[in-house]
Amino acid sequence: MAGALLKDVVRKFPLEAFAARDKEIKLYDRVFSQKYDDKNKIYSLHEPDVFCICKGKERKKN
């Protein structure tokens, strides 16, 4: 659903409006296209610089 909506918005936007919102459209496209194993994921649309903090103990390598 999100992919169809993103494609529809990009297709229907006038070129001037698309240029003004280019940064946001690229962010949405990046969020939509990210996979489970990708590095540098986006966890929040309103704060794209947020990092994932893992819980638990660090594992020691033997």
Q: Which residue type is seen at 44?
A: S
pTM score, whole prediction: 0.63
DSSP states along 16-61: HHHHHTHHHHHHHHHHHH--TT-SS----SS-TT------SPPPPP
Q: Tell me how many degrees the CA angle 54-59-61 measures, rounded to the nearest 5.
A: 145
Condensed to tens digits (0 to 9), the pLDDT of residues 5-62 reads 888 888 888 777 777 778 888 888 888 888 888 888 888 888 878 877 776 666 666 5
* pLDDT score recorded for residue 7: 83
Q: Which residue type is seen at 62?
A: N
Give CA–CA dist 33/47, Å, rounded.
18
